């Protein structure tokens, strides 16, 4: 467990420094209104959304903010695996209950101070409908009152409406792409899909860059 939580396990590493820089840039990305919610999305599966959102959430928690990481990928989310948590109940289950009364029941503590996780829950037949529901909108508002920062681990934009639905509900969006894997055309399509929310796009994270020190990004997180 937690081997992917580089900011905790290897705080002095290059990637931890890079995540810290992203954290700082996000904190400064809005001047008049404090950034309270961030959606992490990408063009397709495997570019590193879950890896980045877990580390970004841990990094915000290290500043003393009370942080919630929400796994919105109700098809193939894996935050419960990254944090070694139970996934018997999570976001999908919560969204069919009375969210204002029950949300606390589904949020789990992690071993990391100030960091909480709402796992994906059981795979529902209709993830997009759940995210588009009034209950989900209500939930995002409740969470803003309860936490200083909420990071949403999204789904890829390609072919799915889920991330576009979530884009409407957050303050900022970061797009993850993978070095030498994400074709520029796909990244442009992703940006275009989020055109209605372009003022919210804080930036693009280029993940999986080989560093000059080590060439094997599979062994070393860059
Ligand atoms: N910077 C990185 N260096 C090495 N492996 C990475 C890096 N980012 C992600 N991975 C690995 O790539 C795989 C896909 O990442 P994941 O975060 O699950 O992508 P997504 O959520 O976008 O589908 C995982 O096995 C993850 O550990
Ligand atoms: Mg993921």
Distances from the Cα of 26 to the Cαs of 64, 117, 152, 174, in angstroms? 16, 20, 14, 9
- Find out whether the beta carbon of 46 lies less than 6 Å from any atom of ligand 1: yes
Is residue 91 within 8 A of residue 136, CB to CB? The reply is no
Substitution candidate for ligand 1 out of 43, 51, 71 with most atoms within 8 A of CB: 51
C-alpha 204/C-alpha 113 separation (Å) is: 28
CA of 50 to the centre of ligand 1 (A): 7
CA of 47 to the centre of ligand 1 (A): 6
Distance of CA 50 to the CA centre of its chain: 6
- Find out whether the beta carbon of 217 lies less than 6 Å from any atom of ligand 1: yes
- Find out whether the beta carbon of 71 lies less than 6 Å from any atom of ligand 1: no
Beta-strand ranges (E) seen in 97-156 are 108-109, 115-118, 149-156
End-to-end Cα distance, the chain:
19
Residue whose C-alpha is closest to residue 127's, from 72, 50, 168, 169: 72
Task: Measure the CA dihedral 33/21/176/37, to 10°.
Answer: -30
- Find out whether the beta carbon of 221 lies less than 6 Å from any atom of ligand 1: yes
CA of 193 to the centre of ligand 1 (A): 23
Instruction: Please write the tens of the pLDDT for every residue from 18-74.
Output: 999 999 999 999 888 899 999 999 999 999 999 999 999 999 999 999 999 999 999
Q: Cα 79–110–162 angle (5° rounding)?
A: 30
Residues counted in the chain: 222
Which atom of ligand 1 is nearest to 53's Cα?
17
Instruction: Please write the tens of the pLDDT for every residue from 86-121.
Output: 999 999 999 999 999 999 999 999 999 999 999 999
Q: Output phi, psi for 123, to 5 deg.
A: -70, 115
Report pLDDT for 11: 94
Which atom of ligand 1 is nearest to 45's Cα?
23
List CB contacts of 92: < 8 A, sequence separation 6 or more.
74, 120, 121, 122, 123, 124, 127, 130
Instruction: Please write the tens of the pLDDT for every residue from 119-146.
Output: 999 999 999 999 999 999 999 999 999 9
Instruction: Please write the tens of the pLDDT for every residue from 151-181.
Output: 999 999 987 788 899 999 999 999 999 999 9
Substitution candidate for ligand 1 out of 41, 48, 160 with most atoms within 8 A of CB: 48
C-alpha 31/C-alpha 98 separation (Å) is: 35
CA of 212 to the centre of ligand 1 (A): 20
Report pLDDT for 213: 60
Q: Which ligand is nearest to the CA of 156?
A: 1
Which domains are delineated in the chain?
A: 6-180+189-207 (3.40.50.300)
What global pTM score does this model have?
0.95
C-alpha 46/C-alpha 58 separation (Å) is: 20
Report pLDDT for 1: 46
C-alpha 62/C-alpha 31 separation (Å) is: 22
């Amino acid at each position: 467990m937690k081997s992917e939580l580089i900011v905790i396990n290897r705080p002095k590493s290059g990637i931890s420094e890079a995540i810290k820089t992203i954290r700082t840039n996000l904190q400064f990305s809005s001047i008049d209104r404090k950034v309270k919610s961030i959606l992490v999305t990408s063009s397709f599966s495997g570019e590193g959304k879950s890896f980045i959102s877990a580390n970004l959430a841990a990094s915000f928690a290290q500043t003393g903010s009370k942080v919630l990481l929400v796994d919105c990928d109700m098809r193939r989310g894996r935050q419960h695996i990254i944090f070694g948590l139970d996934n018997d109940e999570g976001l999908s289950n919560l969204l069919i209950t009375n969210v204002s009364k029950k949300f606390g029941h589904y949020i789990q503590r992690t071993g990391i101070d100030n960091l909480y996780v709402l796992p994906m829950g059981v795979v529902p037949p209709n993830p997009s409908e759940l995210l588009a529901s009034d209950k989900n909108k209500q939930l995002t508002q409740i969470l803003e009152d309860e936490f200083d920062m909420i990071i949403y681990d999204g789904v890829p934009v390609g072919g799915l409406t889920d991330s576009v639905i979530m884009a409407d509900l957050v303050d900022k969006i970061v797009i993850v792409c993978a070095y030498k894997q994400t074709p520029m055309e796909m990244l442009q399509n992703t940006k275009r899909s989020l055109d209605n929310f372009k003022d919210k796009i804080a930036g693009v994270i280029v993940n999986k860059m080989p560093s000059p020190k080590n060439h094997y990004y599979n062994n070393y997180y860059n």
